[in-house]
Structure 1
Amino acid sequence: MRLKFYQDVLKQSRLPWIDYARGIAIILVVYRHIFEGFSRALDGVDQYAYLEHANIIFYSFRMPLFFILSGIFIGKSLQKRSVQQIIINKFNILLWPYLIWATLQVSLQFLVSHYVNINATRSWIDYMYIALYPRQIDQFWYLYALFNVTVLYVMVRQLAKVKIGWQLAIGLVTFFISSYLSTHKIDLGFIYDILHYYIFFAIGDLVSKYMLDKSMYPKFSSWQAFLVLLPIFVIGQYYFLETNLAHGDYTYVEAYEPILFMLIATSGCIFMFNISFILQRWDIFKALRVVGYHSLYIYVSHVLVASATRVLLVKLGLTYVPLMLAICLFISILVPIGIYYVALKLGAWWLYSLERPSESKIVTPKPQIAG
């Protein structure tokens, strides 16, 4: 048996390595948010140190990976669209779902907090945080940050005619400013994320001509590259883990050792790209491509799904944390995809974008015998 929609999604994916990379990144994001939810809501999670260690390691490169991926395509977008068109497009596909889903999640958490023990205690001020302090609204800050970084980067590149070298210089300066803000506990809300991730978006733009050059794919997918990158990745992640544990703060390296963090994050992203190209070359683990293709839809609703699943598992008497985490991880990836297609079927595509999807993208999951 094979799902028709599974096959349709693979056909729509023009660059498999992109979806593989997004699949890896979104799984790591979902893992982190589930683990953090467990840590706040359940007793005994600290008994499983390896789960916390994995959470710390994943933190080093998962969000830079998303920004680099977005930066890779900005040049091609500018070849097809004006600055105004790109801003409108990014509003439709990034800022709009951020506003919709952040408001929805805050409202649901506000309503159910009186009946169910949840991690987030909401009040009316949280609606103000949506615009000013997005990191107070769980996972949603990323969409807001990506919109802001993209708009600023495009305007600097196109309107101010700033070349990529200077863009990288700007990114380095803003990155060090964000480090200063972190170490001095200065909270500038959404501005911090712009300062912090601008450099990774610029890196994506810098490497785009190589990453999109199909003649380079054999090199990117080579096992020689894998064997070179693997020890670099392991050493970097080991240092990141041990240093953060020693200081009792998983953000220590990021805040206090910005140069090392940038090297560790970038090397982690390069290694993930290598793995993605290898998976594309061998055409395996296609389910990961499907997950990556739906990464936005998973991102906006996975916290709500994970929280509901955790509460249900507790009520059912399940107490083994690793098993609970695995179940939550699976459901928090699968169910948001289902919610997305149900929304499309009901004509509620506007929950995810103001740009109506083409009929070819509205695929319905139906079992089909593989021929």
Structure 2
Amino acid sequence: MFSLDALFNVSAIRKSRLTWIDFAKGAAIIMVVFRHIVIGIERSEIPIHEAYRTIADITYSFRMPLFFILSGFFLRSSLLKRTPGEFVQSKLRTLLYPYLIWTFIQITVQIVFSNYINADRTWRDYIAVFINPRSIDQFWFIYALFNLALVYLALFHVTKGNKVALFVIGIVFYYINRFIDVHVIDDILENFIYIVIGDLTSSFVLNKENRSTILSYAWLLVFTALFIATQYLYLNFEDLEPFVYAVIALVGSVLTIILSFHLANVDWLLFVRVAGFHSLYIYLMHVLVSAPIRIVLFKVFHVTNGGLIAIISTTLGCLVPMIFYNLCRRYNMTLLFYPPAKGGLKEEG
């Protein structure tokens, strides 16, 4: 019989220095899983209340920028404590390696079971992993984060780490992105600004002396009001200016971070915190987990309530990857997630 610690690595989570980061990542990954499941339900033509799609659309407006901002908080410190070669090697281990392993696994499974799922895969998708990652379901983010880390490394040395210069470059990238339609490059141009915003604000957000300011209910009320206003724009108007979408994403991200500080302050919703600690592994596996769950619920158990399927699939789509990863840790099967380090396997993160 396995303990909760063995299945969810609770002891390591309890020792986490920045609890709010786990909550923020947890909120973001749950939003990712939920939206992908709602889309899968709709493609399967299972009836689902419009409210679920609205929630999925709201979270879509800021969840990925939030992930990039959270990554940006720690990118500078990661770079400063490593040589450029060590920094690149770290990103190869923690991002590119699991990206290649799990895109191969998911594409292969989708080809083998093509008669039973929504995805339409061919051998060409193995090539798309490098040239068109957006076509490989959820995986584009990990490849984009890897490429953004390399671009940040290069520009960090060009600008000598000047945050203002990096911010200006981020704005220029974001602006010219509207004129460029090239896979992979698009993701860099569109999202570099969020990495830089994370870097630019990290000294404030990570400073313990500013904790009381972030926990101020005045800021919570202000950003809740801004969130409602920006989401009204997002849901009711099409073809907004790209910079308006950026503002919408930033407001949603800031509100989520503020709420994460409040959750960390009272340490409620442990499930969200645990999910955040395991966010990478959930991201890698949730499509492979949630699609079979949806199919079994609908075709075997004849569950026709799309909302119920969404709730069950989202919960299990987070739980199963966490359990699988920790069982892999327990039985030294971590090659599925990162390569062996010198002297043996080493857990990342």
TM > 0.5: yes
Partner of residue 146, structure 1 = 145
Map residues 67-146 of structure 1 onto 2, 5 A cutoff: 67-114=68-115, 116=116, 118-146=117-145
Cα-to-partner distance string for 1:206-230 (whole Å, 9 max, x where unaligned): 0010111000011111212111111
- The one-letter amino acid of 1:52's match is R
> Contact 1:92–1:355 (CA<8 Å) still a contact in 2?
no
Instruction: Report what 1:239 is aligned to.
Output: 233
Deviation at 1:358, TM superposition (A): 9.5
Amino acid at match of 1:32: R
CA gap 1:198/1:360 in 2 versus in 1, 3 angstroms: closer
2:243 corresponds in structure 1 to: 259
Distance apart, 1:295 and its partner CA: 0.2
Where do residues 347-358 of structure 1 align in structure 2 (5 Å cutoff)?
A: 347-354=332-339
Q: Equivalent residue for 1:205?
A: 199
Report the counterpart of residue 57 of structure 1 in structure 2: 58
1:275-328 Cα offsets, whole Å, 9 max, x none, are 011111122222211110000000000001010101101121100110011010
SS at match of 2:339: coil
Indicate if the aligned counterparts of 2:98 and 2:336 stay in contact, CA closer than 8 A. Answer: yes
Is the 2:103–2:129 contact (alpha carbons within 8 Å) kept by the matching residues of 1?
A: yes
2:282–2:322 Cα contact (<8 Å) kept: yes
Tell me how far apart the structure 2 counterparts of residues 209 and 90 of structure 1 sit (CA, whole Å). 23
Q: CA deviation at 1:354?
A: 2.2
Aligned equivalents of 1:271, 1:94: Cα separation in 2: 27
Q: Does structure 2 retain, via aligned residues, the 8 Å contact 1:71–1:205?
A: yes
Paired residue total = 343
Matched, 1:314 2:298: yes
Deviation of 1:361 after TM superposition, in Å, equals 6.6
Shift of residue 162, structure 1, vs aligned partner: 5.2
2:24 matched residue in structure 1:
21
Which amino acid in structure 2 is aligned with residue 166 of structure 1? A
Match of 1:178 in 2: 177
Q: What are the equivalent positions in structure 2 for 1:294-309 lying under 5 Å apart?
A: 294-309=278-293
Q: Tell me whether 35-44 or 16-25 shows the greater mean CA deviation.
A: 35-44
The one-letter code matched in structure 2 to 1:130 is V
The secondary structure found in structure 1 opposite 2:129 is: helix
Measured in 2, the distance between the counterparts of 1:236 and 1:358 equals 49
* TM-score with structure 2 setting the length: 0.93
Question: Which letter maps to 2:82?
Answer: R
- Provide TM-score, normalisation by structure 1: 0.88
User: Structure 1: where are the runs of 5+ without partners?
Assistant: 245-251, 363-371
Instruction: Look up the match of 1:12.
Output: 15
Counterpart of 2:276, as a letter, is G
- Runs of 4+ off more than 4 Å: 355-362
Counterpart for residue 186 of structure 2: 192
Contact 2:94–2:338 at 8 Å: present in 1 too?
yes
| 212 and 162 in structure 1: CA distance in 2 versus 1, 3 angstrom threshold | closer
Contact kept? 1:23, 1:292, Cα under 8 Å? yes
CA contact (8 A) 1:67 1:204 kept: yes
Identical counterparts, % of pairs: 37
Which residues of structure 2 form unaligned runs of 5+? none
Q: CA deviation at 1:98?
A: 0.5
| Deviates most, 162-171 or 62-71 | 162-171
